[in-house]
Structure 1
């Protein structure tokens, strides 16, 4: 079993440090690509850890702005609750917020109509 620092390193988070709050709107294309890669690394672990399926996080999540924003915010919260100076109750708070987030992800994914094998681009009107 990896140590906490090993897990954070594997997830591309380095040593325990302040979480990065990402404002996707302000990122240049190169930084956005780097952040998507970092988010994807964490998300691979997260989806496996919480046994989530395509109805919650579709394979094309990265093509949907709302899903990127929600998942990025969730990762930031997860990072914050495991900092060295986090309160002992922070992980419980994360899981309370996780419940709400998973409901929103399922609703958005359902509206998008994407499946395990088919991506439906968003239609902006």
Structure 2
């Protein structure tokens, strides 16, 4: 090592911590291909979450990926978990995640109750007809 070379202390702690975190996904902005790729990433995490916490289909039905609201809620929860378990997270952050999981379950169950999706089958979201008309102006 020469005097001109920077000291190397191994992995950069900033990169180790923040390199693993991305900003939240704005799902409506994604292309179809981007959405498909991001859903594949999210699917593995959702399956693991359902197993870890024995979540019922009334909270997360198997057709969750077909419901934009469920996708956005679950994506936000995954981001919350990633931040709560980052190397720089507070020792109490795990409890923050559990609180967020509790809140997310309420949001998810409310959304699922609108479609009545269950283990018996999928039902499409009911979209207000006025949202499919031409914009004002």
State the TM-score, normalized to the length of structure 1. Answer: 0.83
Corresponding position: 1:75 with 2:78: yes
Give distance in 1, aligned partners of 2:124 and 2:99.
31
Q: Which moved more, 1:48-57 or 1:112-121?
A: 112-121
Q: Alignment partner for residue 122 of structure 2, among 113, 119, 124?
A: 119
**Cα RMSD (Å) of the superposition?**
1.2
Aligned-residue offset at 1:20: 4.2
3-state secondary structure, aligned to 2:43: helix
**1:91 corresponds to 2:94:** yes
Map Cα deviations across residues 43-69 of structure 1 (whole Å, 9 max, x no partner).
111100000111110011011111000
Pick the structure with greater CA Rg: 2
Structure 1 spans left out of the alignment, 5+ residues? 1-15
The number of aligned residues is: 110
Deviating runs (4+, > 4 A) in structure 1? none
Superposed CA deviations along residues 85-114 of structure 1, whole A, max 9, x for unmatched, are 111111111111211111111111111111
| 1:45 aligned counterpart, secondary structure | helix
Paired with 1:52 and 1:123, the residues of 2 have a C-alpha distance of 24
TM-score (norm 2): 0.76
